[in-house]
Amino acid sequence: MSSSDDTLPHPQAECSSPPPNQSQIQLPLLIHQLSFNQDSTCFSAVTDRGFFVFNTEPYRPLICRDFESGLSLLSMLFRFEVFVLVGSSYSPSPSAAATNTKALLWDDHASRCIGELSFRSPIRSIRLRRDTIVVILLHKIYLYNFSDLKLLHQLETTSNPKGLCEVSQISGPMLLVCPGLQKGSVRVENYGSKKCKFINAHSSNITCLALTHDGRVLATASSKGTLIRCFNTLDGTLIQEVRRGADRAEIYCLAFSPTAQWLAVSSDKGTIHVFSLKADSVVLGDDRSTSALESPLSNQSALSSLSILKGVLPKYFSSEWSVAQFRLPEGSRCIVAFGQQKNTIMIIGMDGSFRRCQFDPVNGGQMTQMEEHNFLKQEEHFPSWNEDS
């Protein structure tokens, strides 16, 4: 464990920082982070000079801010005009900005910083709830009360360079999932029951996590990137296992639909997969038997046509495969979320692309692209920002 993580971070009620530069953001822009908000009604893009926020349905620009020295991370809370911005300072020094040791609570309506959390090691990611700020470091996770930045809890993880952590979003006690202390394990911290559970999800390192809004269902992927597993967080049982493919892949994103009927997966192979799940029975409180929940092969409609031979052939041939797919160039780095329109997903890429696609829940196959935009073309989205002040 890094010794720098042992120092208790201290919050500041106020912090001094200049307002964003109300001038044109110059091209080209380098994207550091893309993320959807908690209900996927907005997405943000953090660049080397500031950030954008876009509405998803309908697609339209909302906010464009230039902080000159740039940011590394941003987390937004639903549609509130309060953000948590990550960077060591607003100094123009590139070396200072690279350390990413400060989390700044930014009130965009007032255009000022209203709080600050300082750390001695780089911040890997931020997760927000209406009542909690979660800061993820390499070996530790800190939880703060949103209203006064009071430290609520801290916990240790195995090395977590990607800042993997997800939290439930419904009102009431929080459920948090993060990497455990052993390779391939996931820690489930239930603040309602005050119980901690470890799920041995994979034999390889965990590289991606997703959680339903109510926190009842967890999806995991490992460094192999071939199998995605879904677990009941309440008892740790395996609900379902689906197969992305046979060869290794880096999983970029896992995303549940609101009812957990579907799971979307993006990877460096360039194909977006949508899987049919039975996890919605857990979310909706269906009293299904434990044996059915533990069987990863009970959803026959999603099985390979060779599943009848699953007792003879290798497990590969009896895996559950995706219902629908959408293909991008191999290596395309993107994240996905489900749209409010039925059977639609949204894809945002590090190349500045926004796509909305529709899939056929019955026949499956290739998705249909409904629209495509380039959100880095701010001369189209923010024309007033190109005018001389």
For tokens 């489930």, the residue is 188
Kindly give, in sequence order, each residue whose CB lies less than 8 Å from that of residue 3, ignoring residues fewer than 6 positions away.
none
Q: What pLDDT sits at residue 116? A: 92
- Cα 369 to Cα 357: distance, rounded to the nearest angstrom: 4
Residue (of 380, 376, 387, 389) closest to 49 by Cα position: 376
Confidence of residue 365 (pLDDT cuts 50, 70, 90): very high
For tokens 């971070």, the residue is 9
Strand partners, 110: none
The mean per-residue pLDDT over the stretch 242-264 comes to 92
- Cα 110 to Cα 81: distance, rounded to the nearest angstrom: 9
Confidence of residue 330 (pLDDT cuts 50, 70, 90): confident
Is residue 302 scored above 50 in pLDDT? Answer: no
Strand partners, 34: 45
Is residue 171 scored above 80 in pLDDT? Answer: yes
- Cα 193 to Cα 51: distance, rounded to the nearest angstrom: 38
The mean per-residue pLDDT over the stretch 376-380 comes to 71
Cα–chain center distance at 151:
23
Q: Where are the domains of the chain?
A: 30-118, 207-278+318-383
Is residue 357 scored above 70 in pLDDT? Answer: yes
Q: What pLDDT sits at residue 300? A: 34
Whether the CA torsion 116, 121, 127, 132 is positive or negative: it is negative
Percentages helix, strand, coil for the chain (3-state, rounded to 5) are 10, 45, 50
Percent of the chain at pLDDT above 90?
A: 61
Kindly give, in sequence order, each residue whose CB lies less than 8 Å from that of residue 102, ignoring residues fewer than 6 positions away.
86, 87, 88, 89, 116, 117, 118, 119, 123
Tell me the average pLDDT of the chain.
Answer: 81
Whole-prediction pTM = 0.81
Q: Report the residue count for the chain.
A: 389
Q: What pLDDT sits at residue 49? A: 78
What's the pLDDT tens digit per position in 193-209?
Answer: 999 999 999 999 999 99
Contact between residue 290 and residue 245 where contact means Cβ atoms under 8 Å apart = no
Report in angstroms the alpha-carbon separations of 74 from 34, 47, 82, 102, 110. 9, 10, 11, 12, 18
Contact between residue 13 and residue 104 where contact means Cβ atoms under 8 Å apart = no
CATH T-level assignment (fold) for domain 207-278+318-383: Methylamine Dehydrogenase; Chain H (2.130.10)
